[in-house]
Amino acid sequence: MSDVTPTEMMTIAASRALSSKDVCFVGIGAPSAACNVARLTHAPDITLIYESGTIGTAPDVLPLSIGDGELCETAVSTVAVPEMFRYWLQGGKITVGFLGAAQIDKFGNINTTVIGDYHHPKVRLPGGGGAPEIATSCGEIYITLKQATRSMVEKIDFFTSFGHGEGGDHRQRLGITTKGPTLLITDLAIWKPDPVTKEFTVVSLHEGVTREMVQETCGWTVKFADDLEVTPAPSEIELSTLRDLNERTKRAHAGGKAA
């Protein structure tokens, strides 16, 4: 499908990682699109949870923020934020946390706080919100982002959400018992951490993508799996579901009716 955009490929590839058995803590943006495509296609019984306290939400359009009324209106239940974090998240009841990133390093550590020096930043970002807790308390973490040397860096400017730290058993040494980042999906490839070093390694290239394209848009020396695969192209159902969702969202946020 030559008309599939890199962003569509990334979103659909990310959605495939989810199942109906998952209880998923959803980030806004690309993670939200991926999770809802999964819900609308192969994982109808997935439980989507957003930071505002909405449980089992099934939005017809993608939310602008965690406080979007669409989330509460379609949720099975809405609880207070302290209950969401203390009972559901820190209580170990969430299998997958789906996060985005402004900066990420090869060990899955995430920065969403500042670009540059903290006290004199080039850019001040939205911050961590609940992401630091999500990164340590969910069973495992999936991450989506578009590849660029400014976002995939050798060293992040600020540790907002802890991934695998310095690699290896760093999480375990700090007493963190969850798996941490187990999957990174970009607009060019699918990455998984090395079982021992925890450094993200490319395991699958999206159709038409070369190793050189991946390296040119990454700030560290990329490692590729020996049995490198090609990501299956989106099916007609996956693609039409995503495009219909995006179109409904566009109309709704422009003030039109989300039919």
Alpha carbon distance 188, 149 (integer Å): 13
Residue with tokens 């209950």: 83
The dihedral built from the CA positions of residue 202, 205, 210 and 214, taken in this order, carries a sign that is negative
Is 51 an annotated catalytic residue?
A: yes
Q: Catalytic pick from 51, 70, 133, 238?
A: 51
Alpha carbon distance 92, 237 (integer Å): 33
Half-sphere exposure of 70 (CA within 13 A, CB side): 16
CB 55 within 8 A of CB 76: yes
CB 26 within 8 A of CB 98: yes
* Three-state DSSP class for residue 230: strand
Alpha carbon distance 142, 138 (integer Å): 10
Separation in Å, CA 108 to CA 151, 209, 241: 12, 22, 29
SS3 string, 100-166, reads CCCEECCCCCEECCEEECCCCEEEECCCCCCHHHHHHHCCEEEEEECCCCCCECCCCCCCCECCCCC
Residues annotated as part of the active site: 51
